[in-house]
């Protein structure tokens, strides 16, 4: 099996759901998930906020980071690191694309 490719996400990037991937709420299990062809990724609260901020409308990663930092009144540098890490992981797994 091949190791996952390392992905780098820049602040000028724009991300979106990969083809065939949908954001859905599982009301029975009370969680949000990304559904793709023959795969599921259950989202924690942070990942859900990142997905919503970056894919809900056409924005750059920078704009999403700024909005999340303001929304949560948190240091921008910390939010930026978290957002870029979450996005890179989801891109590497094929749930998001640039």
The token duo for 41 is: 């990724």
For residues 5 and 89, give the distance between their C-alpha atoms in angstroms, rounded to a whole number.
10
- Angle between helices 76-92 and 45-55 in degrees, nearest 10: 90
pLDDT at 3 exceeding the cut of 80: no
In this prediction, residue 4 carries a pLDDT of: 56
- Angle between helices 61-72 and 45-55 in degrees, nearest 10: 130
Q: Domain spans of the chain?
A: 16-97
Summarised one tens digit per residue, pLDDT across range 64-73 is 999 999 999 9
Q: Environment class of residue 3 by beta-carbon count within 10 Å: exposed (0-12), middle (13-18) or buried (19+)? A: exposed
CATH class of 16-97: mainly alpha
Rounded alpha-carbon distances, angstroms, from residue 5 to 1, 2, 37, 91: 12, 9, 20, 10
- Residue of 72 and 6 predicted with greater confidence: 72
pTM exceeds 0.85 for this model: yes
Q: How confident is the model at residue 57 (pLDDT cuts 50, 70, 90)?
A: confident
Summarised one tens digit per residue, pLDDT across range 11-55 is 999 999 999 999 999 999 999 999 999 999 999 999 999 999 999
């Amino acid at each position: 099996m091949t190791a996952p490719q390392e992905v780098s996400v820049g602040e000028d990037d724009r991300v979106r759901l990969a083809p065939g991937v949908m954001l859905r709420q599982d009301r029975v299990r009370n969680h949000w998930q990304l559904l793709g062809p023959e795969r599921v990724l259950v989202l924690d609260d942070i990942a859900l906020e990142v997905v919503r901020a970056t894919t809900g409308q056409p924005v750059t990663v920078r704009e999403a980071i700024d909005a999340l930092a303001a929304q949560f009144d948190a240091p921008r540098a910390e939010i930026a690191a978290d957002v870029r890490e979450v996005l890179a992981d989801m891109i590497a797994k094929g749930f998001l694309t640039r």
